[in-house]
Structure 1
Amino acid sequence: MRGAARTRAAVQSRAQLPEVTISEDGEVRFLHLGTEWIQGSMLIDSPFDIELEYVQRMMAWLLFVDPDTVSKRRALQLGLGSAALTKFCYKKLRMDTTTFEINPQVLAVCRQWFKLPADGPRLRVVLGDAGEAIRQPEHAARYDALQVDLYDHEAAAPVLDSADFYRDCRGVLTDEGAMTVNLFGRDASYEASLRSICEAFGDESVWAFRPTREGNTIVLALRTPQHPTRMALLERAEEIQTRWNLPAVKWLRLFKPVLAKT
């Protein structure tokens, strides 16, 4: 049931939101939500690059679109974190970029400490519940890249993680659109999350990385299934690496359709 599926998000939105803090190690600035868990990071000398490996993998949707069309597309992030994805899509990819974030402190800290630009014609950060926001009619079939990273301060499991939620995610995508989701691949909840994504998108539309050393697994789901050859993916990966300095060639050793895993 939709109401039951959204209970955790509703509870979080009503509860007191965690305090946002930052730390540094000299080269990297980290964002925390009231615990030692790292919720995002930024290279201090390269604030618009993506520092964390799993966050870089959230850009794997680039493998499925023509690089020459990227700047004409729209990106949506659910969860601002340290704004790494939002900044990369806006500044590096030159995309029209929207982000939904529930915690106003996160937005304020990103603007002050993580070089998040002010809202403008191509950039907007909307404060509110992501699960409710994406159900609004104006977002239907609007976005080519949807990036979902919705963990609370305990970082135990995604705040929104039901098949109904992922159906709503599918509904905001264009025909060529793709969703990437951050999951904990070594956590017991991973298989349940993957089943929910496959239920919403169809098994033939879903791809997954191997977990990072920290246990993050990025899952990608296409609005419309694609089955490119490995050579086609390699050519695309090489161009992504050249244009945007993302380790896309390495991705191909770690990234497969979920049907190939069974």
Structure 2
Amino acid sequence: MSSSSPHILVLPSPFLSDTDTIRLLEPADADSQWLLHKVRSGDYDKPFVIDDGTTRSLHFSLSLIQSTMNLKEPFELALDYTQAMMSFLLFLPRPQHILMLGLGGGSLAKFCHRHVGSARITVVEIDPHVIAFRDAFAVPPDDARLTVVEGDGADWVVRSRGWETRPDVVMMDAFDRHGLSGSVSSTDFYRSVLDALAGRGVMVANLAGDKDSREDHLAMIAEVFDERLLTLSLPDGNDIVLAFRNPAFAPRWREVGNLAKALRTRTGLDFPRFAQRLERSRRLRYL
């Protein structure tokens, strides 16, 4: 660890199992009992990591898991919502540039880095404490294809309009301990995403939290993208929304189905199921 790297304090975790450990961004001589009390009470104000021997999870609180990694398969997508967010590949299989808003445990960044070789990936994360755990989640170091930067995702969307290669995909998974970040919770933000996208670009948004908040965001996206959207509602309460810039967006579902089979072979994800559910959501919107 370099002298500039934050210290990660590893302690036995008393919360879930006797064999769990908890990782905190704290000095080695910190009062561990006081810290564990703060975590237990919900007053601890930094993200933390819990290992259970099988998985490693990034938490904003004991009840709120932000991201999960399978320790034996660190590049797999362990959570259903992250798998569903990759369904943009059904409509844009070879993106040149992906802009991700929110790093979390880096699941999507790692998966795209490994499986979407055509793309340069820029990840914007507002919380430096989240970025500090990137090594714990096996996020590859920055290279010619992957860059992780600290910043406000909404500002970077505006900035991307001046890039030589505009993002083909904007992936929004921008949560803090209170829910969706305030900077991405407005019609103006979604308009800036629409303006930033390349001509056939797609936005993928993970909407979670209470039903009213999800419906408000869905309404804003539908308004800005003129109803050119598809949705996947997941059993865990997340809604995945795909919104398309192209005014002539009209998916050819037979071709999508064929591509889904090829993507399943390449990545192991159940793209045919995503395609079926997205087609159904499209039919329901027409009705």
Normalized against structure 2, the TM-score is what? 0.77
The alignment status of 1:115 with 2:138, answered yes or no, reads yes
Matches within 5 A, 1:62-141: 62-65=89-92, 67=93, 69-70=94-95, 73-94=96-117, 95-111=119-135, 113-136=136-159, 137-139=161-163
The alignment status of 1:216 with 2:238, answered yes or no, reads yes
Q: State the distance in 1 between where 2:150 and 2:262 align.
A: 35
Q: Percent of aligned pairs with the same residue?
A: 32
Residues 245, 222 of structure 1: alpha-carbon distance in 2 compared, 3 angstrom cutoff? same
Q: State the distance in 2 between where 1:103 and 1:78 align.
A: 11
More helix by share: 1
Match of 1:191 in 2: 215
Deviation string, structure 1 residues 27-59 (Cα, Å, up to 9, x no partner): 221101244301011111111121111111111
Among 155, 164, 172, the residue aligned to 1:148? 172
SS at match of 1:175: coil
SS at match of 1:252: helix
The alignment status of 1:36 with 2:60, answered yes or no, reads no
Among 181, 192, 202, the residue aligned to 1:178? 202
Q: State the distance in 2 between where 1:258 and 1:163 align.
A: 25
SS at match of 1:32: strand
SS at match of 1:253: helix
Amino acid at match of 1:134: V
Among 165, 179, 182, the residue aligned to 2:189? 165
Q: State the distance in 1 between where 2:156 and 2:59 align.
A: 24
Among 51, 54, 62, the residue aligned to 1:27? 54
1:24 Cα deviation from its structure 2 partner: 2.4
* Divergent runs of 4+, >4 A: none
Match of 2:11 in 1: none
Q: State the distance in 2 between where 1:36 and 1:54 align.
A: 17
Residues 62, 98 of structure 1: alpha-carbon distance in 2 compared, 3 angstrom cutoff? same
Amino acid at match of 2:229: V
Amino acid at match of 1:127: E
Deviation string, structure 1 residues 186-231 (Cα, Å, up to 9, x no partner): 611222111100121111x11111x212100100001114222332
More displaced stretch, 178-187 vs 50-59: 178-187
Amino acid at match of 1:56: Q
Query: Do the aligned partners of 1:35 and 1:153 also contact (CA within 8 Å) in 2?
Result: no
1:261 Cα deviation from its structure 2 partner: 6.0
Amino acid at match of 1:41: T
Match of 2:272 in 1: 249
1:144 Cα deviation from its structure 2 partner: 1.2
SS at match of 1:109: coil
Higher relative contact order (CA 8 A, sep 6+): 1
Q: State the distance in 2 between where 1:168 and 1:35 align.
A: 34
Normalized against structure 1, the TM-score is what? 0.84
More displaced stretch, 235-244 vs 181-190: 181-190
